Structure 1
Amino acid sequence: MAFLRVGLLGYGGGPAAIPLIQKEAVDTYKWMNDEEFSDILAIGNTLPGPIATKMAGYIGYRVSGVGGLINGVLATVLPTVILMIILLVSLASFRDYAWVQGMTRGVLPIVAVMLGVLTWSFVKKSKTDLGWIKVLLLIALSIVLIEFAGLHPALLIGSLILFVLLKPKKKEDAA
């Protein structure tokens, strides 16, 4: 049911579905905590393909094995496929009407707020782990690299993961 709701209500694509997945997996069903969700999201962003489907597959597998994986992916994908077929056939004949254009434009601010809330929760969690100075520096560096240097976000996330995995251990870390 969790991923069926995400598949039905995740209007706007994968990024819009992420806050819904977090709500279901962390808050509603308590399959994981915020830190685990953040890790899954970071790894999922480095892999090719739709993020909602990857997360549904992994979380489903984690909760119920292969059956959960299949259930999670199908519950996420099937509503979208069915609705896309129905809506595209229906809306194609009404696309010039103002109410159809208004409906599409009206959803965009809601998706932006949902992504903003998710981002702020990640910033707060990062502040706890790293402190404000490192968080603000990472945010600024990320904006510069992604927006101005044209670096793909997956490459940035992948390099940060590699950095953390390969950096030399401090003496107090090794103990």
Structure 2
Amino acid sequence: MTHKHLFFAFLRVGLLGYGGGPAAIPLVQKEVVENYKWMTDDEFSDMLAMGNTLPGPIATKLAGYVGYRVSGIPGMLNALAASVLPTVILMILLLATLSSFRDLGWVQGMTRGVIPVVAVLLGVLTWGFIEKSNKDLGWLKVTLLIVASVLLIQLAGVHPAIVIAALIIFVLTKPTGRKKEGEEA
């Protein structure tokens, strides 16, 4: 039963994640956290943060990790197949079909119409991360990190991977606060 659930959860993501990996993230979160409760919101956020630091498409990294966590290597292969196969099949069919119709208005309208929906999905996911960060860091630090990230990435042209790597290095190397008496190390 678990393999069936894994397959259909990531098949839905693969079929409905129009717009690439970032558009699929809210769909994966809905399946993994809300529908099947394979992990909590905090665990999902941590997995997504770590997945974004690694190279490659995020949707397949999420599928691989969740599949492995739920059902080991067979689960990983199952989730990966379910998330990749729809894209491969649909790409072959759509590109063969739509390439001959790409100049028609309805095809151009279809592709332009999806962009605002993807933007809303990403906005909802972003707001969830901001709220989680607020609980951990507080609004002042969250606001400073957002502003600094926007300035570095958009205005200074620093690659996002460099900003993420710098933050990870900072968190891993920063001194921790002193423990109060009676707390374990």
Question: Shared fold by TM > 0.5?
Answer: yes
TM-score bin (small chain):
over 0.9
Unaligned runs of 5+ in 2: 1-7
Matched, 1:57 2:53: no
Contact 1:44–1:51 (CA under 8 A) maintained in structure 2: yes
Q: Residue 11 of structure 2 aligns with which residue?
A: 4
Counterparts of 1:33-112 in structure 2 under 5 Å?
33-112=40-119
| C-alpha distance in structure 2 between counterparts of 1:146 and 1:105, whole Å | 26
Matched, 1:143 2:156: no
Separation (CA, whole Å) in 2 of partners of 1:34 and 1:120: 13
Is 1:14 the counterpart of 2:15? The answer is no
Secondary structure of the structure 2 residue equivalent to 1:96: coil
Q: Percent identity among equivalent residues?
A: 69
Greater than 4 Å deviation, 4+ residue runs = none
How far off its partner does 1:128 sit? 0.9
Aligned residues: 175
CA distance in 1, matches of 2:27, 2:160: 21
2:175 to 160, 168, 174: 168
Deviation at residue 164 of structure 1 after TM alignment: 1.3
| Alignment equivalent of 1:122, drawn from 126, 129, 135 | 129
Alpha-carbon distance in 2 for matches of 1:162, 1:96: 48
SS at match of 1:172: coil
Deviation digits for residues 121-172 of structure 1, max 9, x if unmatched? 1101111111110010000011011111222222222221221121112112
Equivalent pair of 1:126/1:135 in contact (CA under 8 Å): yes
Find the counterpart in structure 1 of residue 166 from structure 2. 159
Q: CA-atom RMSD, angstroms?
A: 1.2
